[in-house]
Amino acid sequence: MQKRHVRSNLRIVLFPVVIFTVIGIGLYIFKKKTAPKHFEPSYYTEETPALLQVPHSIYRVVRSKSMSSTDFPDASCRKRKESCPATILITGENRTFGEGVAKAMLISPRPNNKSNGLVGTSRETNTQFGNDLFDGGYTYQVQSNCLNSSPPSMDNYIDVACVEGLPLWRMSYSEINNELYKVLISYFLFLFQAYDFQNSSTKGFNVNIGYNSTYRVRSPDQELNPNVVRVQKAENMITNGFLQFLRGPSTKMILESVSETPFLKFEYPDFDQPAMMVILYVWMIHQLFPVFLQSLVYEKQQKLRMMMAMHGLGNEAYWMIMYLYFLVISILYICAYLVAGTLAGLPIFIKNSVSVQFTFYFVFMNLQISMSFLLSPLFKRAKGASVFGVFMVFGTGLLGAFLFRSWVQDPSINRIWIMALEVYPGFALYRGIDELEDYGKGAAKARTFGIQWRHLKDNTSGMREVLIIMTFTWLVFVLIAYCVDNISSLRSRLSFLTKSQMNTSSSSNSDMEPNMFVQMEKEDITLERKKVEQLQNGPNSLYSAICYDLKKIYPGRDGNPDKYAVKGAHLALPRGECFGMLGPNGAGKTTFISMMNGLLEPTSGTASIEGLDLRNQMHMIHTIMGVCPQHDLIWDTLTGREHLRFYGRLKNLSGSSLTKAVDDSLRGVDLLQDGNKLAGKYSGGMKRKLSVAIALIGNPKIVYLDEPSTGLDPASKNKLWEVILEAKKDRTIILTTHSMEEAERLCDRIGIFADGGFQCLGSSDELKSRYGGSYILTITTTPEIIEEVQGVIEGFCPGATRTYCLSGTQKFELPKTNIKKSEIFGAVKLAKKRFPIQTWGVTETTLEDVFIKVAVEADSSIV
């Protein structure tokens, strides 16, 4: 069945490919345009100033009572901005040498704070070099003193401050370690740097450098390892100090900067005002929602789902098939989306973990499918559902970007509210994609990796939050959608319970019914009722379908009284019988058939089909039932053969027996040549033939045919009748028709249904002899003499009644008991001598006459 949308499914799955191809081309052009001309085509290397890690003023260590050393700066320096010195602890075997080198290491005062002398930053980093120098935080010039320096200022958009380096001598490195430990653990303060000159002298320089190792990075195996931050500059400073100590200030050995290996330099265009790319991704992923919703509503609107149910496809199976079908499309779509996005070179796809991305989209797709099931009962028309879906998708993207995003970023909004909003799947999708985009872009800038599974361990992770919420919402939606879908059958089961209680509490419920039900029952109807009552006592292998007093009352709405559509029908149909139901419009035929095929729940009474009870075994009855509804319920996008294969499978046919059954069906209804044509391109008659073939495939035990030959040409009609006559041999057929010819040709018994009940039952001949014991005389004269003609007819046949009179043409019913056919001929001959007769004729009663008579009688008997 699901093959029917191959092309449209392919179009859907290729949609992201098209979009990302366009974006990829756009980015390629952008890249070409913006690539620096003086570099190799698109490769680039970046220089980073070599920096020191300097603690921010408030974290620099000062003297306190708990510390044994008294040479630390006084705490009063904290009151003045950036005036606390940065302490450098030094030790070694030779104090004079060590203090000399440390002093030479610090650069002389530079009053103008020019960036030429920049050496340190207080900014945290998780890279060795920290090339984010210009991204906030103070930048320091470490000098021997800051007496003449200007206060912190802006230089080339960088805050530059002078910081005084304060070397303090300690007796041993263990003393330094002791102080470093105390300072760090007890006060959360940081010393600037520590140097152990060991046995260094003017002849040789051996140094051990102490650095701040509180910056940590995660290693690939998830360990938190200390990051060796900015040690290069510390090393260079002390080496330079040693050189200057030996050779004087004119000799310098300065590490200015470090260069990375070349990398592909490409800044992605910043579309993110406001979150344009995120909106696009949200639309692309969410666009399957209207497709699914429309598809579900379409099957309901076209009654295809009902048709499938009537052929044995249970609710659960339908759910499963549709769900899996949508899921397969979704998975293909996600794959196409991820591959196309990656090929287009977008960071959100390249930088983030593929498995995280796939999991996120997979969970959302499931949520989206369950939401389609949940909302589908709200719509009657597929177009309405589709329009709603499209608006919802577009609205979600826009609301997400312009409202929801700002709420997420606003720390003053309680997280609970954000989580409540994320219960709406569109916002959860927006949040997730926004996270992926942020991680992707950030990673592209820093040339690291985007979101990984380990990021989801963090309790504050937005992705973790939406994944949990979406999974929860998905399960809830599935549960609610399933309950809503089954609510009608649940209700009917409950109503059946109350009805059976009613039936057991009172043997007859006739006192519930209005007086108008009470009318004289015809003899044939009484016989049928008695037969049914006898059959009620035990199963009978001869009878395929038995109706026990089926009744249907439609509840009155808007102040109207209840409508008694079927007032109690008894019927016993032997196997192999084709039973015809005739009746005027509104008589209750469709209601009766709908109760029999499970579309409507009887108000009371029941029926047994092949021993199965209509009230609680309908799902089993569906598997042995075939239905040709009044209006063709077929998929325009499936071929006739595919229809038959689908319904054949529902009837448990498979393999070669299925192929044979399909071929025989197509041949039977003369559609073999057009079997592979789309049913949407069939003519009205061809569709009708297909509907009949669908009803008969799979050897059903009982078949309902509602006006099967409507719209067929005489030749096709005859062919179809042959098929039905052949089919009725080993099954029971109930057929409704307005064609007397069809009823007479196909039906073994006919029941005329009027005013909510059978008015007569019997074969065509029985009915004609029972209800039509008269000749019909049709006579046409000039209109002026119709009274005279009527007088003559009534004169020669007492009891003659005029049933029709229009512009000179009159019809008379002449009771067979009062006149012979030859006497009619003689009388007309005599009449011709008195007045001119244009045309005349005598016929026996037809089924049509019986029909009209019975219908009129039923109509006039209504109180």
Ligand X SMILES: Nc1ncnc2c1ncn2[C@@H]1O[C@H](COP(=O)(O)OP(=O)(O)OP(=O)(O)O)[C@@H](O)[C@H]1O
- Can you give the binding site for ligand X, defined by CB under 6 A? 554, 563, 565, 583, 585-591
Q: How far is the CB of 587 from ligand X (least distance, A)?
A: 4
Which is it for the CA torsion 88, 93, 98, 100, positive or negative?
positive
Distance between CA atoms of residues 289 and 367, nearest Å: 10
Report the length, in residues, of the chain. Answer: 863
φ, ψ for residue 40, nearest 5 deg: -55, 150
Q: How far is the CB of 315 from ligand X (least distance, A)?
A: 22
Residue 366 or 603: the one with the smaller Cβ distance to ligand X is 603
Q: Which two tokens stand for residue 18?
A: 């098209």
Comparing C-alpha atoms, which of 238, 463, 480 is closest to residue 372? 480
Q: How far is the CB of 803 from ligand X (least distance, A)?
A: 23
Q: How far is the CB of 695 from ligand X (least distance, A)?
A: 18
* List of residues 6+ apart from 393 with CB closer than 8 A: 283, 286, 287, 289, 290, 426
Q: How far is the CB of 604 from ligand X (least distance, A)?
A: 16
CA 780 to chain centre: 68
Comparing C-alpha atoms, which of 748, 750, 769 is closest to residue 759? 750
Residue 501 or 585: the one with the smaller Cβ distance to ligand X is 585
Distance between CA atoms of residues 757 and 632, nearest Å: 27
Distance between CA atoms of residues 141 and 151, nearest Å: 12
Contact 764, 750 (CB under 8 A): yes
The two most distant CA atoms of the chain are separated, in Å, by 162
In angstroms, the first-to-last Cα distance of the chain is 51
Q: How far is the CB of 495 from ligand X (least distance, A)?
A: 16
Contact 565, 756 (CB under 8 A): yes
Residue 234 or 582: the one with the smaller Cβ distance to ligand X is 582
Instruction: Indicate left, alpha or beta for 398 from its phi (over 0: left) and psi (-120 to 50: alpha).
Output: alpha
Residue 756 or 772: the one with the smaller Cβ distance to ligand X is 756
Residue 330 or 591: the one with the smaller Cβ distance to ligand X is 591
Residue 56 or 589: the one with the smaller Cβ distance to ligand X is 589
Residue 363 or 569: the one with the smaller Cβ distance to ligand X is 569
Strands 839-844 and 809-815: unpaired
Residue 293 or 565: the one with the smaller Cβ distance to ligand X is 565
* List of residues 6+ apart from 626 with CB closer than 8 A: 311, 694, 695, 696, 697, 698, 700, 702, 703, 704
Q: How far is the CB of 488 from ligand X (least distance, A)?
A: 14
Distance between CA atoms of residues 477 and 473, nearest Å: 6
* List of residues 6+ apart from 444 with CB closer than 8 A: 268, 347, 350, 351
Q: How far is the CB of 749 from ligand X (least distance, A)?
A: 18
Residue 37 or 557: the one with the smaller Cβ distance to ligand X is 557
Residue 400 or 583: the one with the smaller Cβ distance to ligand X is 583
Strands 257-259 and 224-226: unpaired
744: which DSSP letter? H
- Residue 392 to residues 126, 285, 290, 421: CA-CA distances in angstroms? 42, 13, 8, 15
Dihedral of CA atoms 343, 344, 346, 351 in degrees, nearest 10, equals: 10
Within a 13 Å sphere around the CA of 280, how many CA atoms are in the beta-carbon half?
18
* List of residues 6+ apart from 855 with CB closer than 8 A: 583, 584, 587, 752, 754, 759
Q: How far is the CB of 756 from ligand X (least distance, A)?
A: 7
Tokens 């196409």 locate to 336
Residue 187 or 554: the one with the smaller Cβ distance to ligand X is 554
Q: How far is the CB of 794 from ligand X (least distance, A)?
A: 36
Tokens 């009644």 locate to 801
Strand partners, 608: 546, 613
Q: How far is the CB of 498 from ligand X (least distance, A)?
A: 20
Residue 587 or 697: the one with the smaller Cβ distance to ligand X is 587
- Residue 585 to residues 74, 93, 152: CA-CA distances in angstroms? 106, 117, 96
Residue 468 or 599: the one with the smaller Cβ distance to ligand X is 599
Q: How far is the CB of 529 from ligand X (least distance, A)?
A: 21
Q: How far is the CB of 585 from ligand X (least distance, A)?
A: 3
Q: How far is the CB of 582 from ligand X (least distance, A)?
A: 10
CA 211 to chain centre: 57
Residue 20 or 758: the one with the smaller Cβ distance to ligand X is 758
Q: How far is the CB of 562 from ligand X (least distance, A)?
A: 9
Distance between CA atoms of residues 177 and 182, nearest Å: 8
- Residue 330 to residues 9, 71, 362: CA-CA distances in angstroms? 10, 70, 8
Residue 183 or 735: the one with the smaller Cβ distance to ligand X is 735
Contact 546, 612 (CB under 8 A): no
Q: How far is the CB of 592 from ligand X (least distance, A)?
A: 7
Residue 482 or 554: the one with the smaller Cβ distance to ligand X is 554
Residue 380 or 454: the one with the smaller Cβ distance to ligand X is 380
Contact 613, 777 (CB under 8 A): no
Q: How far is the CB of 602 from ligand X (least distance, A)?
A: 13
* List of residues 6+ apart from 598 with CB closer than 8 A: 309, 310, 614, 618, 621, 622, 625
